């Protein structure tokens, strides 16, 4: 038994969450649920990143007060996560002045104390989509290729953070394994970025007139500036567990065991964040799990590109666990994966309606008709090594493949051993076989728990009640 602290990135709530946003959240939820099952004291953090220009722009477009707009979109995130049965322990909002701002301010002061913050005149191109400065050579036809928008030209006096000082230190932490980056490809990407030299980062913005006072953490001793959004956003991982306001709580949970994040925000997490922590004298998180992107029509599914799939309508039509199933089995955690409503539907009908759902119906019909009492729950509830190893290596899709192999083997056993015929020729042998099938089905339900918690529970209850259930996954044509 140990402690396990897992986080998702905090999301920009400038629109409702799309399937790409819920992906890291489902991955983190699988890890949290698995570690709770293994007896680890687990803390699962998610939340929203609110001190941004995007938020102000999105609110102004609707004509709403930015804070009201935020409160509403944040509610959608929470509702979507709740519907998806995301078992988070805390939902942090970076506009929370009690929980988050003291941590951001403590971090800033620590960076100042290390001599790593300085002021300078700066001129550059700011991409609101990235919430970061980009360079002329990143542009295609004058626009950011990821967001399809022209950057703003800014000439400002900002505070800068001496990121350039920390390349070697971060490299050592990565190479010694203190700070792990999974998969290997992402680790190498960051090592070569460090080798090409890290540049200092603009770490504050002049407070703009259209920003309401609830947005933007003020720079200590300089109310004309607010912290750069990535500076305050990264601190959420620490502020949520007490950094800057509750030392005992922070001691208990920090360092984070895993930050789950997409490869599009790798640099912020693998260079900027560790540099800030080293400068502030705070231990590094143990692991970054860097997942690929869900593509739609070959392009990153994103609000700015307008090619998103709405998780709520998928859940309404196919059920919550169908969405959790697809994301954990059919999207590789380490590579990009294309997804369409068609591919989702095929997987649903093939593996859930005809696969798992049909198997449960077959076995429980036999059990209800032939067994006089429910089977005994198999004990002890241990997971096989094939499953623990793959989940602990973050390979959720391989863990799900393993479970589906067991499902197919069980199906094949029914076809091969024909229990429905056996009960007619040798009732006792037939009952014994059906009990064994139900026991194996119980194991499968148990293994599904971190991935599809409601389905897992339903199958277990069905078996313990010895009753054929209503259809688990209706075929949808």
Distance (Å, whole) CA 463 – CA 442:
7
Name the residue nearer to ligand MSP (CB basis): 290 or 434: 290
Q: How far is the CB of 238 from ligand MSP (least distance, A)?
A: 11
Distance (Å, whole) CA 76 – CA 218:
27
Q: How far is the CB of 310 from ligand MSP (least distance, A)?
A: 13
Name the residue nearer to ligand MSP (CB basis): 234 or 422: 234
Residue from 23, 203, 211, 253 touching ligand MSP (CB under 6 A): that is 23
Per the CB < 8 A criterion, the answer to whether 66 and 213 are in contact is no
Name the residue nearer to ligand MSP (CB basis): 187 or 269: 269
Distance (Å, whole) CA 349 – CA 320:
15
Residue from 144, 293, 352, 410 touching ligand MSP (CB under 6 A): that is 293
Name the residue nearer to ligand MSP (CB basis): 9 or 430: 9
Name the residue nearer to ligand MSP (CB basis): 55 or 444: 55
Stretch that binds ligand MSP, among 27-35, 294-302, 392-400, 435-443 (CB under 6 A): 294-302
Stretch that binds ligand MSP, among 7-15, 110-118, 195-203, 458-466 (CB under 6 A): 7-15
Interface mask toward ligand MSP for 141-180; x: CB under 6 A: ----------------------------------------
Name the residue nearer to ligand MSP (CB basis): 83 or 358: 83
Name the residue nearer to ligand MSP (CB basis): 43 or 447: 43
Residue from 10, 134, 198, 448 touching ligand MSP (CB under 6 A): that is 10
Query: Which two tokens mark 39?
Result: 């007896």
Site for ligand MSP in 245-284 (CB under 6 A): 261-262, 264-265
Name the residue nearer to ligand MSP (CB basis): 232 or 321: 232
Kindly state whether residue 49 participates in binding ligand MSP, applying the rule CB under 6 A: yes
Distance (Å, whole) CA 312 – CA 326:
14
Name the residue nearer to ligand MSP (CB basis): 49 or 395: 49
Name the residue nearer to ligand MSP (CB basis): 200 or 264: 264
- Residue of minimal Cβ distance to ligand MSP: 262
Stretch that binds ligand MSP, among 3-11, 67-75, 216-224, 245-253 (CB under 6 A): 3-11
Q: How far is the CB of 293 from ligand MSP (least distance, A)?
A: 4
Q: How far is the CB of 237 from ligand MSP (least distance, A)?
A: 7
Kindly state whether residue 9 participates in binding ligand MSP, applying the rule CB under 6 A: yes
Site for ligand MSP in 195-234 (CB under 6 A): 233-234
Q: Quick one: three-class SS letters along the chain? A: CCEEEEEEEEECCCCCCCHHHHHHHHHHHHHHHHHHHCCCEEEEEEEECCCCHHHHHHHHHHCCCHHHHHHHHHHHHHHHHHHCCCCCCEEEECCCCCCCHHHHHHHHHHHHHCCCEEEEEEEEEEECCCCEEECHHHCECCEECCCCECCEEEEEEEEEECHHHHHHHHHHHHHCCCCEEECHHHHHHHHHHHHCCCCCEECEEECCCCCCCCCCCEECCEEEEEECHHHHHHCHHHHCCCCCCCHHHHHHHCCCCEEEEEHHHHHHHHHHHHHHHHHHCCCCCCEEEEECCEEECCEECCCCCCCCCCHHHHHHHHCHHHHHHHHHHCCCCCCCEECCHHHHHHHHHHHHHHHHHHHHHHHHHHHHHHCCCCCCCCCCCCCCHHHHHHHHCCCHHHHHHHHHHHHHHHHHHHHHHCHHHHHHHCHHHHHHHHHHHHHHHHHHHHHHCCCCHHHHHHHHHHHHHCCCCCCCCCCCC
Name the residue nearer to ligand MSP (CB basis): 10 or 437: 10
Name the residue nearer to ligand MSP (CB basis): 211 or 334: 334
Per the CB < 8 A criterion, the answer to whether 233 and 10 are in contact is yes
Rounded to 5 degrees, what angle do the CA atoms 282, 287, 293 make?
125
Q: How far is the CB of 325 from ligand MSP (least distance, A)?
A: 17
Total residues at the site for ligand MSP (CB under 6 A)?
21
Residue from 301, 322, 360, 396 touching ligand MSP (CB under 6 A): that is 301
Interface mask toward ligand MSP for 302-341; x: CB under 6 A: x---------------------------------------
Kindly state whether residue 45 participates in binding ligand MSP, applying the rule CB under 6 A: no
Stretch that binds ligand MSP, among 6-14, 172-180, 192-200, 345-353 (CB under 6 A): 6-14
Of 118, 80, 9, 135, residue with least CA distance to 314? 80
What contacts 412, CB < 8 A, 6 or more positions away?
A: none
Binding site for ligand MSP (CB under 6 A): 9-12, 20-21, 23-24, 49, 233-234, 236, 261-262, 264-265, 293-294, 300-302
């Amino acid at each position: 038994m140990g402690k396990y602290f897992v986080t998702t990135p905090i999301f920009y709530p400038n629109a409702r969450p799309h399937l790409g946003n819920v992906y890291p959240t489902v991955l983190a939820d699988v890890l949290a649920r698995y570690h709770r099952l293994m007896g680890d004291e687990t803390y699962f953090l998610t939340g929203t990143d609110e001190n941004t220009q995007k938020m102000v722009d999105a609110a102004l477009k609707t004509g709403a007060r930015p804070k009201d707009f935020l409160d509403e979109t944040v509610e959608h995130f929470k509702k979507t996560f709740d519907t998806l049965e995301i078992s988070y322990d805390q939902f942090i909002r970076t506009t929370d002045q009690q929980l988050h701002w003291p941590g951001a301010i403590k971090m800033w002061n620590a960076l100042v104390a290390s001599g790593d913050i300085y002021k300078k005149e700066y001129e550059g191109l700011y991409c609101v989509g990235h919430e970061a400065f980009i360079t002329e050579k990143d542009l295609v036809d004058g626009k950011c290729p990821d967001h399809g928008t022209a950057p703003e030209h800014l000439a400002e006096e900002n505070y800068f953070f001496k990121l350039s000082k920390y390349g070697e230190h971060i490299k050592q932490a990565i190479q010694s394994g203190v700070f792990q980056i999974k998969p290997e490809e992402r680790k190498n990407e960051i090592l070569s970025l460090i080798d090409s030299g890290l540049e200092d980062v603009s770490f504050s913005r002049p407070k703009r007139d259209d920003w309401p006072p609830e947005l933007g953490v003020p720079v200590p001793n300089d109310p004309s500036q607010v912290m750069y959004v990535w500076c305050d956003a990264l601190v959420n991982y620490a502020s949520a567990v007490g950094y800057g306001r509750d030392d005992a709580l922070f001691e208990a949970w920090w360092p984070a065991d895993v930050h789950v994040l997409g490869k599009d925000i790798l640099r912020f997490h693998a260079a900027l964040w560790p540099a800030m922590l080293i400068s502030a004298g705070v231990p590094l998180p143990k692991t970054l799990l860097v997942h690929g992107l869900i593509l739609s029509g070959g392009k990153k599914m994103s609000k700015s590109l307008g090619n998103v799939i709405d998780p709520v309508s998928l859940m309404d039509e196919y059920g919550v666990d169908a969405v959790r199933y697809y994301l954990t089995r059919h999207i590789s955690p380490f590579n990009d994966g294309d997804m369409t409503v068609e591919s989702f539907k095929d997987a649903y009908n093939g593996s859930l309606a005809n696969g798992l759902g049909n198997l449960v119906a077959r076995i429980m019909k036999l059990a209800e008709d032939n067994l006089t009492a429910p089977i005994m729950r198999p004990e002890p509830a241990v997971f096989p090594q094939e499953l623990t190893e793959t989940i602990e290596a973050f390979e959720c899709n391989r863990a799900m493949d393993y479970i589906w192999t067991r499902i197919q083997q069980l199906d094949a056993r029914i076809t091969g051993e024909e229990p429905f015929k056996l009960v007619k020729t040798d009732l006792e042998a037939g009952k014994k076989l059906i009990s064994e099938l139900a026991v194996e089905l119980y194991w499968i339900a148990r293994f599904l728990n971190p991935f599809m918690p409601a389905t897992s529970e339903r199958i277990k209850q069905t078996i313990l009640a010895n009753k054929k259930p209503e259809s688990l996954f209706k075929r949808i044509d």
